[in-house]
Amino acid sequence: MLVGIVGAPNKGKSTLFAALTLNDVKIADYPFTTIDPNFGVAYATTKCVDAELGVKCNARGSSCVDGTRMLPVNIVDVAGLVSGAHEGRGMGNQFLSDLAGADALMLVVDASGKTDSNGNQCSDCDPIDDVGVVEHELSAWIVDILKRHSGELSKSDDGVAALHLVLAGLKVDSKWISAAISKCSLTSNRISWTEQDMFAFATAILKESKPTMIVANKMDAEGSAERIERLRGSLGADKVAGCSAAIEFALRKATRQGVIDYKPGGTSFNIVNNSGLSAEAANALEYMGRFIAARGTGVQELLNGIVFVLSNSIVVYPVEDENRYTDHYGNVLPDAVLMRDGSTAYDLAMTVHTDIANSMLYAVDAKTKMRLPKDYVLKNNDVLRIVTAARHK
């Protein structure tokens, strides 16, 4: 899974990226600090299935701590987006290309109200303006693609198939295209839509293929609570998540340096080594301790919300031995795979390896030992063995 961090310049996107991934990135208080995209890995968290099965897992590629499974999620932080980006203003064209493979988006706005929609300093700006600019530019990006391919779209009797070819680089599924066309009441035969039709379709297909959470960053700033509530009132409470990327980053960095013991998403931490700690640093830790005790930082909850709620993802555990829940080497529940809700056993096989999917016969539910067809719809915490022709016994 790939999540893109987007937003106008100077909203704290790179700080959020650093807080999620602990990658060293350039962070500064001016627009266009990020020019080339930053790539890293964050970890969504969920309760592991091992306790239910009465075993202890051997997580591969991540970890499982006290029954909490860490699920890797790829993160990309791209250049700030300004009005006219789809026409090349700012870092626009590069920004849009870097987002093509994203499965979901974090749209970061400044809850402190101290930066405008171009990333410049201001005294009391409304973060709702940032949302409008970014959403318009994303839709305009799709519209430009449609315009460039209008000739071939107008000649096809199967508009869904034609659109799927045109938008293939954006990880857009045919079923999402059909849904977007239906929602907009558009024709899919020899497409000759107006620009208004194209914008309606672009907005709909983005909602289907790249669900977006509005991230109200800097919630530790004075007046931020009121701005976050206004955002939720305008956009919906489930569409807006508050966070303090700066505090989360500071706490994770202090943990990595061995100063404190802090679990991402926690509401407290322990100081384990205060030798050499300056009075300023001690005061900062005291402030952050009080802050997270009252509110948390919101960063881990944000990531989990995007993965499991906004993107409707579930966790499935593929195994080779359905009796011991192991892989070929005897590792117990080594892999936990994020799948979109509604995916099938065949989709899981494709995620593991295309050769496995191509020779798949059926699946076995490791919990019940029942045989399942390829079109079986996956459930959260399923543990499945994929049976292929080569390994059929």
Q: What is the pLDDT of residue 30?
A: 40
Residue 132 clears pLDDT 70, i.e. is over it: yes
The superfamily in CATH containing domain 315-388 is Beta-grasp domain (3.10.20.30)
Q: What is the pLDDT of residues 148-157, one digit of tens each?
A: 999 999 999 9
Of 92-101, 110-119, 329-338, the one with minimum mean pLDDT is 92-101
pLDDT above 90: residue 92: no
Band (pLDDT 50/70/90 cuts) for residue 339 is very high
CA pair distance 265, 42, nearest whole angstrom: 13
Q: State the pLDDT at residue 104.
A: 94
**Per-residue pLDDT, 9:** 85
Q: What is the pLDDT of residue 99?
A: 85
- pLDDT for 31-77, tens place per residue? 444 456 789 999 999 999 999 999 999 998 778 988 999 999 999 99
With cut-offs at 50, 70 and 90, classify the pLDDT of residue 347.
very high
Write down the pLDDT at residue 25.
46
- Residue 223: how many CB atoms within 10 A of its CB? 12
DSSP string, 107-157: EEEETT--B-TTS-B-SS--THHHHHHHHHHHHHHHHHHHHHTHHHHHH-S
CB atoms within 10 A of CB 131: 22
Which of these, 211, 149, 156, 207, lies nearest to 177 by C-alpha position? 207
- For residues 183 and 264, give the distance between their C-alpha atoms in angstroms, rounded to a whole number: 39
Percent of the chain exceeding pLDDT 90 equals 76
Q: Which amino acid is at 178?
A: S
Q: What is the pLDDT of residue 153?
A: 93
Given CATH 2.50.20.10, say whether it is the number of domain 2-37+78-238.
Answer: no
Label residue 29 by pLDDT band (50, 70, 90).
very low
Read off the pLDDT of residues 1-14 as tens digits, 9 standing for 90 and up. Answer: 999 999 988 899 98
Sequence spans of domains, the chain: 2-37+78-238, 245-295, 315-388
**Listed residue (98, 175, 160) closest to 347, CA to CA:** 175
Residue 165 per-residue DSSP state:
H
Query: What are the residues facing 40 on neighbouring strands?
Result: 75
Residue 156 has a pLDDT of 93
Q: What angle do CA 348, 307, 212 make, to 5 degrees?
A: 120
Terminal alpha carbon distance of the chain:
33
As beta bridge partners, residue 365 has: 384
Q: What is the pTM of this model?
A: 0.87
Distance of CA 130 to the CA centre of its chain: 19
Q: What is the pLDDT of residues 326-336, one digit of tens each?
A: 999 999 999 99
Q: What is the mean pLDDT of residues 282-292?
A: 95
Q: Which pLDDT value is given to residue 350?
A: 95
Q: Confidence class of residue 390 from pLDDT cuts 50, 70 and 90?
A: confident
Q: What gap in Å lies between CA 111 and CA 350, rounded to an integer? A: 41
Is the CA virtual torsion 165, 168, 173, 179 positive or negative?
A: negative
- Please give the structure tokens belonging to residue 306: 């995007």
At 85, is the pLDDT very low, low, confident or very high (cuts 50, 70, 90)? low
Q: Which residue has the higher pLDDT, 18 or 392?
A: 18
The amino acid at residue 303 is L
pLDDT higher for 280 or 123? 280
Question: Are 248 and 308 contacting, i.e. CB atoms less than 8 angstroms apart?
Answer: no
What amino acid occupies position 8? A
- Of 315, 308, 299, nearest in space to 22 by CA: 299
